[in-house]
Amino acid sequence: MKPSMGERVYLVGVYSVLTIVGLLCLLPLMHIASISTSSLQAVSAGRVTLFPVEMTFAAYTQLFENSPVVSAFNNSVAITLVGVVLSMGFTILAAYPLTRAYFLGRRLFMMGIVFTMLFNGGLIPTYLTIRNLELINTYWALWLPGLVSVFNMLVLRTFIENIPGEIDEASRMDGCGEWRYLLQVVLPLSMPVIATLALFYGVGYWNSFFSVLMYINEPDKYNIAVLVQQLIQSQMMLAQMNGLESSEQLNLSPDMVNSAAIIIMVLPLLFVYPLLQKYFVRGVMIGAVKG
């Protein structure tokens, strides 16, 4: 059936808005990428807009050879991978029992969990707790406070509750216990929402900034987000890399190095997101709507 005139106007409006929003997101990233790959003369003259001018990768070469970017990148990968595994494991273990009707005190536990969404101890009590646990300067200070997101746990719980009861009954008749049912039935069926929540956790850990500044004191343990912030703040960082007096001796400008660092930070997420996009849409919609 052909769409009516009103539907066509609606679709044109929707696509126009989405195109504008997409360009607003894409164009700044293209500008930063162009600055990072253009020559010093082009950047200094303000001739770089959306595409590189006199392309060079000197900023990336300088970053990887003479700055702690590689170390910070590896720290970010370690923080993200371990954090996602821990958070997903505990989120699953928290969500699954709350879907079992025979679990005593289920409503009471739910009320306690939801309570934490509305009230928390605050910044200073949290810092004092982390310090008294002697977790300062360790990555556990980043993983433990946000180990389980209540919102993500509720999404996963709703998804598991929507798995047909007939599957549960058939599994029980085949002698399936709780752990086997969780590992061999629930988790494979929940892969869309698990991939979505893993992406949520991954983006959060990758972009960790304030918590790293607050709990990590050793620069060698900084992640890429904190390092980029320091690069942007310190306009003399470039000259300090090799003990040079001026960045012009490296044929680079601070803007080029800062832009290259931002691209290095953003690039992994740009590669991962398209791989999980199909799960992202299905996971959010199915997990958020109780059918």
Contacts of 270 (CB under 8 A, 6+ apart): none
Alpha carbon distance 45, 232 (integer Å): 20
Asked whether the predicted pLDDT for residue 131 surpasses 70, the reply is yes
pLDDT digits (tens, 9 = 90+) for 136-175: 989 999 999 888 889 999 989 988 888 888 888 888 888 8
Give the CA count within 13 Å in the CB-facing half-sphere of 278: 2
> Please, are residues 98 and 106 in contact by the beta-carbon 8 Å criterion?
yes
State mean pLDDT over 177-195.
Answer: 87
- Neighbour tally for 75: CB within 10 Å: 21
pLDDT at 256: 82
At 16 the pLDDT is 93
For residues 101-115, average pLDDT: 87
Residue with tokens 């392309």: 55
Alpha-carbon dihedral sign for residues 28, 32, 37, 42: positive
Q: If we measure between CA atoms, which residue out of 32, 11, 14 comes closest to residue 228?
A: 32
User: What is the distance in angstroms between the CA of the first residue and the CA of the last residue of the chain?
Assistant: 29
Euclidean distance between CA atoms 95 and 188, whole angstroms: 15
Other Cβ atoms less than 10 A from the Cβ of 36: the count is 26
The answer to whether residues 31 and 243 touch, using CB atoms and an 8 Å cutoff, is: no
The average confidence (pLDDT) of the chain is 83
How many CA atoms within 13 Å lie on the side-chain side of 131? Answer: 8
Q: Where in the chain is the domain with CATH 1.10.3720.10?
A: 58-289
pTM: 0.79
Q: What pLDDT score was predicted for residue 17? A: 94
What is the mean predicted confidence (pLDDT) over 95-114? 87
Residue 20, pLDDT > 60, answer: yes
- For 289, which DSSP code? S
Question: For residue 231, what pLDDT band results from cuts at 50, 70 and 90?
Answer: confident
58-289 carries CATH number 3.10.20.30 = no
Average pLDDT rounded to a whole number, residues 231-243: 59
Contact indicator for 99, 161 with CB cutoff of 8 Å: yes
What is residue 238's predicted lDDT score, i.e. its pLDDT?
55
